[in-house]
Amino acid sequence: MPLVDLAGAGGGTLSAEALTSAREAGLVGCTRCTRVWPRGTRVCGRCGGALHSRRPQSLQRVWGWWFAGLICYIPANLYPMLRTRTLLTVQEDTIVGGAIELATHGALAVALIVLIASVAIPVAKFMAIAYLALNLGHRARLTAHRRQQLYELVEFIGRWSMIDVFVVAILSSLVQLNAIATINPGPAAFTFALSVIFTMLSAQSFDSRMIWDRAA
């Protein structure tokens, strides 16, 4: 097991086996307000939240939301995200198609932002959540500390995946010139928003304390 540096221990080190977790000490922490209570307490006396040493059926919820998000992400990339109607034409653009259209008109930076937020980040989130869930029962290349950091990163960037939906909503509300031109969200906007929401729920359902259980 790796050695852990402890402050105030005279410059020495202590093996991970010598460290005692809260669960081993008979304690349980509230995930809502972080107050610690004796294990067996069912309700937090501070905020009223339910107390669980580990969330029941955490992995089942993770995979359920994960597959729901993946199913919604497929049509989000196949169907048009934006529908532009003018006097003579109707143009429909998918996420990738819209980014290519922006790049051809000189807005390369905007196109890059759309691709990163709408393609790279969602795919990376799917891969990261699957990696964390699959490696709970196996030896992983990343340490428990690195996997905890990866989980926190997935939770932090989750909201930024909605940038494409926000752009469509803003354009739809601003560009409404009646008979001359209108911009409306396509069917992909709905499924993409669902995909983002489901992956966020998947990440929130993951109990990161299980990472440290396996490490110990």
The CATH number assigned to the domain holding 163 equals 1.20.140
The count of residues in the chain is 216
How many Å apart are CA 5 and CA 146, to the nearest integer? Answer: 17
Same domain, 93 and 177: yes
Question: Which is nearest to 205 in space by CA: 106, 58, 68?
Answer: 58
How many Å apart are CA 155 and CA 158, to the nearest integer? Answer: 5
Quote the pLDDT of residue 5: 41
Same domain, 126 and 96: yes
Q: Which domain does 118 fall in, by range?
A: 55-215
Same domain, 96 and 20: no
Quote the pLDDT of residue 72: 93
Quote the pLDDT of residue 66: 95
Same domain, 100 and 142: yes
How many Å apart are CA 41 and CA 38, to the nearest integer? Answer: 6
Same domain, 21 and 72: no
Contact between residue 187 and residue 78 where contact means Cβ atoms under 8 Å apart:
no
Residue that terminates a domain, selected from 14, 36, 53: 53
Residue that terminates a domain, selected from 53, 68, 85: 53
Quote the pLDDT of residue 180: 61
Same domain, 86 and 143: yes
Q: Within the chain, which residues score under 70 in pLDDT?
A: 1-22, 87, 137-140, 159-181, 214-216
Q: What long-range pairs does 110-115 form, CB within 8 A, spacing at least 24?
A: 113/163, 114/163, 114/164, 114/167
